[in-house]
Amino acid sequence: MQRYNDLSTYIKSTFGEKILKLSIDAGFTCPNRLNGTGCIFCGEEGAGEFAGSRRLSITEQIDSQIEFLKHKSESEKYIAYFQSFTNTFAPVEVLRKKYYEALSHPNIVGISIATRPDCIDEETRNLLSEISKQYETWVELGFQTSNEETAKIINRGYENSIFKEQALLLHKAGIKTIAHIIFGLPFETHEDFMNTVKYINNLPIWGVKFHSLYIQRDSSLYNYYLNTRFKILEMDEYIDAVCDSIELLRKDIVVHRITGDPDKNKLFEPLWPRDKIKVIGNINKELKKRDIEQGKALGGSHGL
């Protein structure tokens, strides 16, 4: 029994087959890093640890990622995930060229654009809206938390109101928006995690990614942790948070992921996210044990 509205079910019902995402580094930078130190957890790769090499063209990256991924799926279709850094941080004509280079590849059926809510202007929204009329189009916004104090600690660089405004504008433009959230940020509690889920529920968000915080050696979080020794989330606490979140999450929201996938060579702490299969298995076991289904806690209420 599927206890939450997962991405693979959405993909199968939309495309009739399994479709994988392949990650691209399209050569962008990030305004939050240029203006300061960037988000505290962000490593040298700009949150794109598994993306292709920026030394290659987008087409070359797609070809090499297909070669790498082809044993995982019988389908020849893929979604191009613009993952590294801020993938709307360029003039709109540059964006148009990069997005359409990916979309013109015969194996690509859609794009997913990772970015910041304070880095999408009207021209970019119009471009994404135009693309969404022909191709599957997702915009992934790094939100992480609704706690404004934590947002300052992690140097997110924008207030909740900016996220809210952009989520509403993207929805109005017909673009599917994914919220990326992190459990275990410095000094946050289970209540903070649930507040973040409630915040998402009240916006026209289409998808969510749940992620635990991990400390990479190449991020400023590494030194911050050594200085503050904030409490690191244990695996059972993360599982509890994800299960409660699924119970609280609006039924229509597509769950893209329930755990992260750290770069094992850079990971300092905690070490349990290295075993992604185990974390996912334990979450699914706990959902079953507690008879949790997505949105169960909302009862008949839609949540919006």
Which residues make up the interface to ligand SF4 (CB under 6 A)? 30, 32-33, 38-39, 42, 46-47, 85-86, 116, 142
User: Is 42 or 241 the residue whose CB approaches ligand SF4 more closely?
Assistant: 42
Minimum distance between the CB of residue 186 and ligand SF4, rounded to whole angstroms? 15
Distance separating alpha carbons of residues 289 and 160, to the nearest angstrom: 35
Instruction: Identify which of residues 78 and 89 has a Cβ nearer to ligand SF4 in the complex.
Output: 89
- Structure tokens given for 233: 């989330």
Closest separation between CB of residue 126 and ligand SF4, Å?
22
Decide whether 5 or 61 has the Cβ nearer to ligand SF4: 61
Q: Output the smallest distance, CB 115 to ligand SF4, in A.
A: 8
**Least Å from the CB of residue 112 to ligand SF4:** 14
Are 15 and 77 in contact by the 8 Å Cβ rule? The answer is yes
Nearest to 283 by CA among 259, 267, 261: 259
Nearer CB in complex with ligand SF4: 86/145: 86
> What one-letter code names the amino acid at 35?
N
| Residue nearer to ligand SF4 on the CB measure, 33 or 77 | 33
d(CA 264, CA 274): 6
User: How many angstroms separate the CA atoms of 207 and 212, rounded?
Assistant: 17
Name which of 46 and 207 has its Cβ closer to ligand SF4.
46
Based on CB atoms, which residue is closest to ligand SF4, 30 or 243? 30
In the complex, what is the shortest distance from the CB of residue 156 to ligand SF4, in angstroms, rounded to a whole number?
7
